[in-house]
Amino acid sequence: MDSARPEIIDSHVALGVEHHLHLEAADYLPAMTANGVSMAIARPTGAELAVLNRAGNDRVMTAGPRFRALVTANPWFGNAGLDELDRCRRLGAVGLYLHPTRQGFMPTDPIVEPFVQFAREADWPVVIHTGTYVQSDVLAVAELARRLPDLTFICDCAGFSDMWFELPGVIAEVANLVFIASLIWPRAIGNTVKNVGAHKVLFGSGEPRDSLPAALKRYDRLDLTDEDRRAIFSGNARRLFHLA
Q: How far apart, in whole angstroms, are the C-alpha atoms of residue 126 and residue 174? A: 15
pLDDT at residue 4, rounded to an integer: 61
Q: How far apart, in whole angstroms, are the C-alpha atoms of residue 180 and residue 103? A: 20
For the entire predicted model, the pTM comes to 0.95
pLDDT at residue 140, rounded to an integer: 95
Write the CA distances from 19 to 22, 23, 105, 148, 160, integer angstroms: 8, 11, 21, 35, 19
- Would residue 17 count as lying in a domain? yes
- Would residue 100 count as lying in a domain? yes
How many domains does one find in the chain?
A: 1
- Would residue 63 count as lying in a domain? yes
pLDDT digits (tens, 9 = 90+) for 38-96: 999 999 999 999 999 999 999 999 999 999 999 999 999 999 999 999 999 999 999 99
pLDDT of residue 1 exceeding 60, the answer is: no
- Would residue 1 count as lying in a domain? no
User: What domain range includes position 125?
Assistant: 8-240
Which domain CATH number covers 139? Answer: 3.20.20.140
pLDDT digits (tens, 9 = 90+) for 4-48: 679 999 999 999 999 999 999 999 999 999 999 999 999 999 999
- Would residue 12 count as lying in a domain? yes
Q: How far apart, in whole angstroms, are the C-alpha atoms of residue 202 and residue 163? A: 18
Measured over the CA atoms of residue 114, residue 118, residue 121 and residue 125, the dihedral's sign is negative
Instruction: Give yes or no for a contact between 198 and 224, defined as CB atoms under 8 angstroms apart.
Output: yes
Instruction: Give yes or no for a contact between 230 and 222, defined as CB atoms under 8 angstroms apart.
Output: no
Q: Which amino acid is at 1?
A: M
Question: Percentage of the chain with pLDDT > 70?
Answer: 98
